[in-house]
Amino acid sequence: MTRLSLHRTLARKFRNTRVLRSGLTLTVIMAACLQGGCRTEQPWPLWDNYVKSAIDGQGRVIDHSAGDRTTSEGQAYAMFFALVANDRSHFDSILSWTETNLAGGDLTLRLPAWSWGKAPDGSWKVLDPNPAADSDLWIAYDLLEAGRLWRDPRFEKLGNVLATRIAQQEVVLVPGLGTTLLSGAVGFHPDDSTWILNPSYLPPFILAHLAKVQPTGPWATVLDSLDPMLSDGSAGGFAMDWVTAGNSGIRPGLSPMQRTAINKLDAPFQGKLDTTPIGSYDAIRVYLWLGLADPATPGLHNLLSRVNGMAAYLKDHVTPPQIVDSAGRIVDTNAPPGFSAAVVPYLTAVGLKTQARVQMDRLSATRDASSGLYGKNGSYYDQNLALFATGWSEQRFRFDKEGKLNPKWK
């Protein structure tokens, strides 16, 4: 929004109010909005409905489908959506709750714990102190871009500190793959020759932006590692949830022992996954991130070609698969509505605009009129995937080739 259009919007908003009659000038109001984030654009109904449904007054994002727990992922995504919505008040409260409850009160000292909720003794607290690398990246990115867009150096400095700590604790050198992002600081390097990786933890636009902001950091090489991770770790052109890398090369999925460990770390899948490598709830984000990225993002064309199985499948099917095995066979066709949302930007990126419209129609058909959310239960994960996809489709935000966020309000 230009200063002139902002001035006009504010003039309409505050005309004949006590604010102007009391002598507070429009110039002061405009300056405050440019600095602090007044919501002067058209409302974002899905974000507003999500706030009502899933975010409490303290800034905690509640996953009602998983025992009312909170994850660092949910906090990170909500900070991003608040930034896209120019919603400074929610951004601040979500950040404050995250720092206080997941990082022991200080994000400059530690990465946030990934899981917080109700313990067996009935208390509410951190359930697993291990950080999740994807959430950490998103929070660092949110802070860097909030600092730039809202002109708050404190956010930028905190984002830089967090990114540096991620580089120290969660970036590793894997033989045969190169420098990449470990899924978490603990538990994903079970022996000297094995590393457990998650391709959905590497959004290209975030890594491209960190490479620009911290040119001496590892971020450009981490982005480079995504190509072989998808090339050798995908199955029939479908991304996998987990990939094993090490001295024996890169392969889809995990060993039985590794699967047991991941089931313990990743509560939503606990007891539900066997040893068969699959692409499902994690992998769906690979398509989403690639679709959201600017076409000129380094390496993007090759990355899209590594997961062309999903595009080929959706040429002849209305619903994305919920589970795909390591041979590219569809195990479960009943994907939730969030999966349709996630593939809309991806299908657009590969030129399948008709198929993208089909998926958007399917998503829209699941909208609940009473809650304004998608799906029968308004599940946490569906809403997050839908917020990314519909926000992008409605042109509320874009990323440039260096990963810089361009929200509509700016």
The reply to whether 109 and 21 lie within a common domain is no
Report the pLDDT value the prediction gives residue 273, as an integer from 0 to 100: 41
The reply to whether 90 and 125 lie within a common domain is yes
Q: How far apart are CA 407 and CA 34, in angstroms?
A: 14
Q: Could you identify the residue written with the tokens 């699959």?
A: 278
The reply to whether 197 and 237 lie within a common domain is yes
Report the pLDDT value the prediction gives residue 168, as an integer from 0 to 100: 98
Query: pTM of the full predicted structure?
Result: 0.88
Q: How far apart are CA 142 and CA 393, in angstroms?
A: 20
Evaluate whether 206 touches 404 at the Cβ level (below 8 Å).
Answer: no
Domain that holds residue 3: 1-36
Q: Could you identify the residue written with the tokens 């094995």?
A: 194
> What does the pLDDT look like over 51-83, one tens digit per residue?
999 999 999 999 999 999 999 999 999 999 999
The reply to whether 29 and 79 lie within a common domain is no
Q: What are the backbone dihedrals phi and psi of residue 213, each rounded to the nearest 5 degrees, phi first?
A: -75, -35
The reply to whether 226 and 114 lie within a common domain is yes
Report the pLDDT value the prediction gives residue 38, as an integer from 0 to 100: 53
The reply to whether 226 and 352 lie within a common domain is yes
Q: How far apart are CA 139 and CA 87, in angstroms?
A: 16
The reply to whether 4 and 80 lie within a common domain is no
Q: Can you list the pairs that 263-269 forms with residues at least 24 positions away whose Cβ atoms lie under 8 Å?
A: 265/128, 265/130, 265/184, 265/187, 267/66, 267/69, 267/115, 268/66
CA angle 252, 168, 160 (to 5 degrees): 110
The reply to whether 12 and 82 lie within a common domain is no
The reply to whether 16 and 118 lie within a common domain is no
Cβ-count burial of 225 within 10 angstroms (0-12 exposed, 13-18 middle, 19+ buried)? buried
Cα dihedral: 352, 377, 200, 217 (round 10): 120
List active site positions: 73, 134
Q: How far apart are CA 49 and CA 168, in angstroms?
A: 38
Q: Which of 410, 384, 395 is nearest to 138 (CA)?
A: 384
The reply to whether 388 and 291 lie within a common domain is yes
The reply to whether 188 and 297 lie within a common domain is yes
Report the pLDDT value the prediction gives residue 378, as an integer from 0 to 100: 94
The reply to whether 16 and 150 lie within a common domain is no
Count structural domains, the chain.
2
- Spans of the chain below 50 pLDDT: 1-37, 39-40, 266-274
Q: How far apart are CA 222 and CA 211, in angstroms?
A: 9
CATH number at 232 reads 1.50.10.10
Report the pLDDT value the prediction gives residue 260, as an integer from 0 to 100: 61
